[in-house]
Amino acid sequence: MASLSGHLAWEFLRGRYLDKIEAALGRTFSAEERRAFSEDAHGGWWETSVMLHLKPHLVAESYRDLPPARYSTSRKLVRNYPLRDGGEGYVGHPALADPAFGKAGGEVLLAEAMEVVTGILDGRLRPPDRRSPFFNVPIFRTNFWPTLGGAVLGIAVTAAWWLSRKSSGSTSTDS
């Protein structure tokens, strides 16, 4: 199995496609824009740009006035951190949004996805080489919790069976 989204999202959000996006846009990003991109996540520059490109009527004009929403790494570990302490739920810089950025980023992601697909199909790439780094952390795997639940249930059933045999075995020898 190959999971494209985890790998592509990780590479994209780490800024590894910025040079290609710049080429697609026909301009370079300023140092400020590169920093903004590194802070971007939910509802920020990228996602708002995609929506402006695909469905602009769904984006409220007030996005232009939203201040940057920056969070420390420790703050990001808090559940629902973008909504805490008056946060509006977005992370990043939505005011920078531009439909051309959304289009260019989408084109680059599509090209990268096709490169991974063709690489896997022609044998140049192996699916495990294109996984999200989170795949290496068992609790982030899709099947982790059901597998853990099954294992715990199996252990509980085995323990109950063993205890019932032990208790029935000890009473039969006492008679």
Give the burial string for 106-133 (b: 16+ CB within 10 Å, else e): bebbeebeeebeebbeeeebeeeebbbe
Q: Is the pTM of this model over 0.75?
A: no
DSSP code for 29 = P
pLDDT band for 13, please (50, 70, 90 cuts): confident
In whole angstroms, what is the distance from residue 113 CA to residue 128 CA?
Answer: 15
CB neighbour burial string for 34-51, b if at least 16 within 10 angstroms, e if fewer: eebbeebbebbbbbbbbb
CB neighbours of 58 closer than 8 A, spacing ≥ 6? 51
For CA atoms 34, 59, 5, 141, give the dihedral sign.
Answer: positive
pLDDT at residue number 169: 66
Given this model, what pLDDT does residue 61 score? Answer: 95
| Spatial separation of the C-alpha atoms in residues 128 and 135, rounded to whole Å | 9
Residue 132 pLDDT greater than 90, yes or no:
no
Q: Mind listing the pLDDT tens digit for each residue in 142-172?
A: 778 888 888 888 898 888 888 888 877 655 5
- Above pLDDT 70, what percent of the chain? 95
Query: Is pLDDT above 70 for 68?
Result: yes
Residues 39-64: tens digit of each pLDDT: 998 999 999 999 999 999 999 999 99
